[in-house]
Amino acid sequence: MCGISGCIDLNRKISDEVIVSMNDSLKHRGPDDSGIYISDDRNVALAHQRLSFLDLSELGRQPMKDNSGQVVISFNGEIYNYLELKEELKANYSFETHTDTEVVLAGYTKWGIDVVNKLEGMFAFALFDSKKQKLFLVRDRFGIKPLYYFLSGSTLVFGSELKAIVYHPAFARQLDYSAFCDFFIYRYVPSPKSIWKNTYKVSPAQYVEFDVNNLSFTSAEYWQPEFSDKKIKPADLASQVDTILLDSVKKQLRSDVPIGSFLSGGYDSSSLVYYMHRLGYKPSVYSIGFKDWQESEHNYAKVVADKFKLELEVTIADGNNLNLLDEMPMVYDEPLADISIIPTYMVSQLASKKVKAVFSGEGADEIFGGYTWQKNFFAMNESRSWNEKIRNWFKPVDTVEYYANSMAMGIFGKDELKNFLQPEYHQHIPDDLNWFFRKQFKKGLSPLKSVQHLDMKCFMGEMVLTKMDRASMFHSLEVRVPFLSHKLYETVFAHDENSYYKTDVTKYLLFENVKKHLPEKILKREKQGFVGPAEYYTNMDWYRKILSKSKLAEAGIANKNFISEKLQANDYWILWKLAVMEKWFEKWGN
């Protein structure tokens, strides 16, 4: 895994100092090596910080050129089917390395940018075709790897993280106050916005094509899972899922360095450990616990580790770790209010001391129907009593409104936003607070699939994967997510939901494949999010310490009285969002 950055400047020659400073800001994403490419006219630059897994020699250095020397790439990610693609391409391309990056270059020479449709994996890359004078910014199907860009006048700047863009002299630190409002609604800034004006995310499953001569651009979404209602015996679908998962784990174990695994003791991470065991691989495993909490995940992780005779390392969190929020603005250089940002940071730090990569279970709940709100929405729409059926017929549940309420964790409605913001900022409050959910809502799907799709595009794509990438890469740790195989999603979504969802069996398709291989204590464990005990997030003295002298209020953005009222009311989920933004603003907003 790596950090990529670069720029195009049509009016000025790009200086070494600028591109070096941008690249250095991402050193945590790839401390093993670095490289810079600047075009002969010094109008185009690509930079790279390398975290090496394949071909550890200098031949794997990036930015990398193709055989012709006319196509240059700075690549972040892993292509898991690179060996299969290399076999297909080698008749017409002379490979000089053993890297997956060169396979992407070879694929581009044959298929053009349609090479993205051939790739299995997680990736974000910048590809400059000097002959066609095109620059492509590309992001993987689910948004596992990040990519931002700033576009203003004659300058384009891009990077894996916003901090790289901030180092460019053309960048102006101007808050996008519509994105600022969105953060309090969603807990993140939804794509394609970023917290800064004129700065955008490349959305998941998207590429943006720039004409290097004038910076005009077009964008395209290159993938969406196809939804269908094919009938199949659930047991047969479970068998297909087993085959796909085993293949995904096998491919993602390809590496020239050891791979570990996060282990929470839940279905998802425990299943990955089982599949690794099935392939004869014995990973070191890492977990986080919470002091004096009976439901602490590390207790369950030990049960699984003992079952497979694995070395388990644990870090224990307590109330003092809340002070790590001071460091989060450097980790998450765009505000992110997921409540597990600190635990994820801590367990990533733990694992990074021993390995360069770990497996993690993101994506399983989305595709197998493991979230509480998915189950509740299915039940609401599959009511069995005639009274409920008649009520649902005349007044169906609004999927977007339901989903917004499920995601809120401290609702900021229009009244709250108006009371929070000083009047001059009210113009930035969106007319439709749920605009992003509505944008991602896919009409015509069954109720369960509609929520699963929203989870894939919103909760997972915008928050969970962002959290995981920043927390891990800050410690130079790559996280591989075998459940996020597009073949798995396409296979499941192609079938009627009754083929894969059972109200009485949690994550039926996964359960069927692990029920004989995991301890009973794990199989019977109820779903628990990656959170600590309630008191961990309800320390009012800690909130008062952060918010009593609010920088947002001092800057004339926030209403101090609103903050005081929320402190008096002990409204800790709203206070959590305020605390996250407060710390971010202290670091970046002034």
Active-site annotation, residues? 2
The token pair at 315 is 């870090």
Contact 457, 9 (CB under 8 A): no
Contact 307, 519 (CB under 8 A): yes
Decide the pairing of beta strands 71-79 and 64-65.
Answer: antiparallel
Cα–Cα distance measured from residue 575 to residue 566, given in angstroms and rounded to the nearest whole number: 7
Indicate the helix (H) or strand (E) that contains 246: helix 234-252
Strands (E), 346-438: 357-359
| Helix spans in 167-227 (H) | 177-186
Cα–Cα distance measured from residue 310 to residue 290, given in angstroms and rounded to the nearest whole number: 21
Contact 29, 51 (CB under 8 A): yes
| Nearest alpha-carbon partner for 313 in 338, 333, 284 | 284
The answer for residues whose C-beta is within 8 angstroms of residue 410's C-beta and 6 or more apart is: 571, 572, 573, 574, 575, 576, 577
Cα–Cα distance measured from residue 101 to residue 388, given in angstroms and rounded to the nearest whole number: 55
Cα–Cα distance measured from residue 272 to residue 480, given in angstroms and rounded to the nearest whole number: 11
Residue-wise DSSP of 145-161 = S--EEEEETTEEEEESS
Cα–Cα distance measured from residue 257 to residue 356, given in angstroms and rounded to the nearest whole number: 7
Please give the backbone phi and psi of residue 36, each rounded to the nearest 5 degrees, phi first.
-140, 140
Indicate the helix (H) or strand (E) that contains 8: strand 2-9
Distance of CA 230 to the CA centre of its chain: 30
Strands (E), 243-372: 260-262, 285-290, 312-317, 357-359
The β-bridge partners of 44 are 8
